[in-house]
Amino acid sequence: MSALDPTDGAEVKAVQVQASSTIHDEDVASKEQGLPNASVLDKKLLRRIDLHVMPFLCILYALSLIDRTNLSSAKVAGMDVDLVLTGSRYSVVALVFFPIYILVEIPTNSVLRWVGTRKLLSGMIFCWGVVAMCCGFVKSYEQLIGVRILLGFFEGGFNPACIYIITCWYKRYETQQRLAVWYVFGAAVNGFNGVLSYGLSKMEGAGGLRGWRWIFIIPGLVTAILAVPIYLYITEFPEKAKWLKSGELEQIQDRIQQDRGEVYSDRVSFKSTMEALRDWKCWSLALLFFWVATGSYSLSFFTPSILKGLGYSTALSQILVTPPYLLAVLCSVAASVVADRVQHRSPFIIFFMVMTIVGLIMIAFGNNLGCKLTGLFIAICGNNSAIPAVIAFLANNIPQSNKRAIAVPLQTGFSGLGGIAGSLIFREQDYPRYLFGIYASLTSMSICIAMTLLIVAIFRNENKKAEMEGKILQDTPGFRYTL
C-alpha cells in the first residue's frame, strides 16, 4: 500500500473537516426549517433496517443451532444405546458434520449477492429441515453418519451469509450489538432446547418411535415449513430491497461510504478472492475464531454429559442446560452495546476469555457441586459472550465488501474446524470429570488471548503510521483499524 506525502495528508484532513462542517451546516439548516436532522433520520432508518433484517436471521440461526446440536440431548435420551454409539462413535458422529460444512462456506457466500438471499437461504433451510428430520428415522450408526454429512452440506453457507448480510447493512460500530442479538438469540433458544428435548423425549412410543427420535423430527419439520415465509419475507441486500422508501437506499449508501469507503457495485471476483486469501489479517482474525469456537462447540455438545457426570439425572441434565445460556444472552448484548459505543473489540475478547478460563477451572477443580455448577455458568457465559466480539473484530477491519465476502466464510470455516476439535476433546473415556477436554479448552482460550494481544499490537502500530506518516490503510483514506 502506498503512503501519502505530508501535503496529501493535509488535503485528506481538509476534506474530512469540510465534510464535517457541511454535515453540521445541513443539521443547522434543517433545524431552522423545522426538518429532522441527519442523526434523527439515521435513527429512524436504523429502526426500519433492524425490523426488516434482524428477526428472520435470528429465528433461522436458532433453528440451525437446534438442528445441529440436539445430538447431545438425543444421546442422553437413549440414542447412544439404540445405535450402539460406543467408544469414540458419538464423537465421530458429531465430527463428520463439519468437513463438508467448512468446504461449502466460501462458494455459497461468493454467489449469495448474485443469487439473492430469498432463493438461496430458503432453499438451504428447506433442505436442512428435511435432512434434520431424517436423523429421527436412522436405524444404524452408518446411516446417522450419512445424514449428518448431508446436514453439514446444507447448513454450511448459512452462518457466513447471515454475518455478511448484517455487515453490509450497518456501519462498523453498529455491528457488534446486532451480531450479539443474532448470536445470543440463537444461543438462548438453543438453551431452551434442553427443555424442549426433554419434553419431546417424553413422546416415547408415539407413532411407534423412541422418544429421542422425536427430538430430531419435530424441530426439523418446523424448519422445513418455515422455508415458505422465509422465501416470501426475508430481505435482500440494500440495492435489491423493495421495502426501502424513496431516498433511503441513497442514505444507506452514503452512510456506508462515509464509514468505510464501501460501494455496493463491488462484486466478488477472482481478483478480490485472491486478495482476501493473501491477506494475513483475514487468516489471523479467522484463526482467532477457531480457538473460541473450540470451547463453544465442546460445551454445547457435552454440557448435558458434564451435568450427568456431576450426578444429575437425565431429565435435569437436559433442563439445566438452559439457564447458563440465558445468562450469556444478557451479558453478551450488554457488552456489545458498550463495545460499539467505545469502538473497541479486543478488551472484550480478552475479558471473556479470562472469564471462560475461570469457569473451566472451577468445573475441573471445584470442591463441591455448587462450585462446579457455577463454573459451568461462568464458562458458557464467557465463551458465548466473546463470539460476537470476535466476529465484529474481523468485520470491522476488512472494509471492502467483496473482500469481506470471502473473509467472513473463512472465519466461520475456522469456527467449523473448532467444532471438529470441540467434538473430539471431551472423550467418553474421560467421564465423568472430562479433564482432558477441560485442559484442551483452557489451552484454546489462552492461545486466543495471546493472538488477540499480538494482532492489536500490529494494528496499533499501523494506525500510528497512518497518523504520523499519512499511510493509507486497506486502500481506504481515513480508515483506522479497530482495536
Cα gap 307→314, rounded to integer Å: 9
Q: What does the pLDDT read at residue 433?
A: 77
Q: What does the pLDDT read at residue 72?
A: 80
Q: What does the pLDDT read at residue 25?
A: 45
Other beta carbons less than 10 A from residue 199's beta carbon: 15
Neighbour-count burial of 309, counting CB atoms closer than 10 A to its CB (0-12 exposed, 13-18 middle, 19+ buried): middle
Count: domains in the chain? 1
pTM of the complete model: 0.81
> In one letter, which amino acid is 155?
E
> If we measure between CA atoms, which residue out of 219, 217, 31 comes closest to residue 135?
217
In a domain, 90, yes or no: yes
Q: What does the pLDDT read at residue 8?
A: 40
In this structure, what C-alpha cell is assigned to residue 472? 493509507
DSSP labels, 30-52: HHHTT---HHHHHHHHHHHHHHH
Cell 448484517 belongs to: 166
Cα gap 373→364, rounded to integer Å: 11
User: What CATH number does the domain containing 120 carry?
Assistant: 1.20.1250.20
> If we measure between CA atoms, which residue out of 28, 25, 46 comes closest to residue 256?
46
In this structure, what C-alpha cell is assigned to residue 462? 499501523
Q: In terms of residues, how long is the chain?
A: 483
Q: What does the pLDDT read at residue 87?
A: 80
In a domain, 48, yes or no: yes
Helix, strand, coil distribution of the chain in percent, nearest 5? 80, 0, 20
Q: What does the pLDDT read at residue 191?
A: 66
In a domain, 246, yes or no: no
> In one letter, which amino acid is 452?
T
* List of residues 6+ apart from 22 with CB closer than 8 A: none
Cα gap 124→126, rounded to integer Å: 6
In a domain, 133, yes or no: yes
CA torsion 8→13→19→21, rounded to 10°? -140
Cα gap 433→413, rounded to integer Å: 30
Contact 468, 460 (CB under 8 A): no
In a domain, 20, yes or no: no
In a domain, 7, yes or no: no
Neighbour-count burial of 2, counting CB atoms closer than 10 A to its CB (0-12 exposed, 13-18 middle, 19+ buried): exposed
User: Residue 318: helix, strand or coil by DSSP?
Assistant: helix
In a domain, 189, yes or no: yes
Q: Which domain holds residue 163?
A: 39-237+251-466
Q: What does the pLDDT read at residue 263?
A: 65
Q: What does the pLDDT read at residue 419?
A: 80
Q: What does the pLDDT read at residue 286?
A: 92
Q: pLDDT below 70 — which residues of the chain?
A: 1-41, 191, 263-266, 301, 318
Q: What does the pLDDT read at residue 20?
A: 39
> If we measure between CA atoms, which residue out of 277, 284, 289 comes closest to residue 414?
289
User: Residue 476: helix, strand or coil by DSSP?
Assistant: strand
Sign for the CA dihedral angle at 128, 133, 139, 141 comes to positive
Q: What is the pLDDT of residues 456-473, one digit of tens each?
A: 999 999 999 998 888 888
Contact 90, 405 (CB under 8 A): no
Q: What does the pLDDT read at residue 39?
A: 66
In a domain, 333, yes or no: yes
